[in-house]
């Protein structure tokens, strides 16, 4: 069950401004009482997007111009706070396939990588330029090229970086450790069969 090699991610972008956007803002704790992650997408940034009566606030993710955007742009220390896996799960299930920010909280970054969501770091100036571009032209395609280490949009290229371990995992299709383990079961059984002290169940 080989995983997809994530070489390029392309889509329309949406800019959610802010520094230190924590996991409780991405997915409020009261929505984490779930058996599976399947329905979490509708609750992404819920308290940022909804009033107490459920009516919509002014927010980029409520703006119809950005409907269907799959690349999220933001500021520094994105995904800080608690280690809840539900935060990247909510983003993935609301349609996001990459996050571009000035920096990321380490645990959020790791949880995102194991979902196949590249989290690429761009400079503050480049995030601002991209945000200006997508706000002027929400239909603009943004492409994250993991092999080249760059983000392209319109006639502009921006340097983008990921730690080497995450980069290698994504481009080689080894980003989900559990799937990687399951794929190796035949080899595990083959080795186990040669061990005199091991008796298969």
pLDDT in tens, the chain (201 residues): 467 899 999 999 999 999 999 999 999 888 877 767 778 888 999 999 999 898 999 999 999 999 999 999 999 999 999 888 999 999 999 999 999 999 999 999 999 999 999 999 999 999 999 999 999 999 999 999 999 999 999 999 999 999 999 999 999 888 777 766 677 778 778 888 888 887 765
Whole domain around residue 17: which residue ranges?
Answer: 8-161
Look at residue 191 and tell me if it is in a domain: no
What local confidence, expressed as pLDDT, does residue 130 receive?
97
In a domain, 95, yes or no: yes
Q: Which pLDDT does position 180 carry in this prediction?
A: 66
Predicted structure pTM score? 0.86
Answer whether residue 170 is part of any domain. Answer: no
First to last CA, the chain: 24
- Cα 110 to chain centroid distance, Å, stands at 10
Tokens representing 144 are: 């994250």
Q: Is residue 60 part of a domain?
A: yes
> Please, how many CA atoms are within 13 Å of residue 126, restricted to the half-sphere of its CB?
19
- Scanning the chain, the segments in alpha helix (DSSP H) are 23-26, 46-49, 86-93, 106-113, 124-136, 164-171, 177-183, 185-193
What's the total number of domains in the chain?
Answer: 1
Among candidate residues 116, 135, 24, 124, the one with its CA nearest the CA of residue 74: 124
pLDDT on residue 133: 97
pLDDT for 84 equals 86
Sorted by sequence, the CB contacts under 8 Å of residue 150 that are 6+ apart come out as 144, 157, 158, 159, 160
175 part of a folded domain: no
CA dist 160 and 14 (Å) reads 17
Q: Do the domain assignments include residue 168? A: no
CB atoms closer than 10 angstroms to residue 188: 11
Confidence (pLDDT) at 201: 56
Instruction: Indicate which CATH number applies to the domain containing 78.
Output: 3.20.19.10
In a domain, 152, yes or no: yes
Residue 169: inside a domain, yes or no? no
């Amino acid at each position: 069950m080989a995983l997809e090699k994530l070489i390029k991610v392309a889509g329309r972008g949406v800019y959610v401004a802010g520094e230190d956007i924590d996991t409780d803002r991405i997915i409020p704790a009261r929505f984490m009482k779930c058996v599976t992650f399947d329905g979490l997408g509708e609750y992404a940034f819920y308290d940022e997007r909804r009033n107490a009566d459920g009516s919509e606030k002014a927010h980029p993710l409520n703006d119809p111009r950005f409907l269907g955007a799959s690349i999220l742009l933001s500021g520094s220390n994105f995904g800080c706070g608690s280690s809840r896996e539900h935060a990247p799960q909510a983003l993935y299930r609301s349609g996001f396939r990459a996050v571009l920010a000035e920096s990321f909280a380490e645990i959020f970054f790791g949880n995102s990588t194991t979902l196949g969501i590249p989290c690429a770091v761009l400079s503050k100036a480049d995030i601002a330029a991209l945000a200006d571009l997508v706000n002027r032209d929400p239909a603009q395609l943004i492409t994250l090229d993991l092999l080249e280490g760059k983000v392209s949009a319109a006639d502009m290229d921006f340097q983008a970086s990921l730690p080497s371990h995450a980069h290698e995992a994504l481009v080689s299709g080894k980003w989900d450790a559990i799937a990687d383990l399951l794929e190796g079961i035949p080899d595990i059984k083959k080795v186990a069969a040669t061990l005199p002290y091991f008796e298969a169940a």
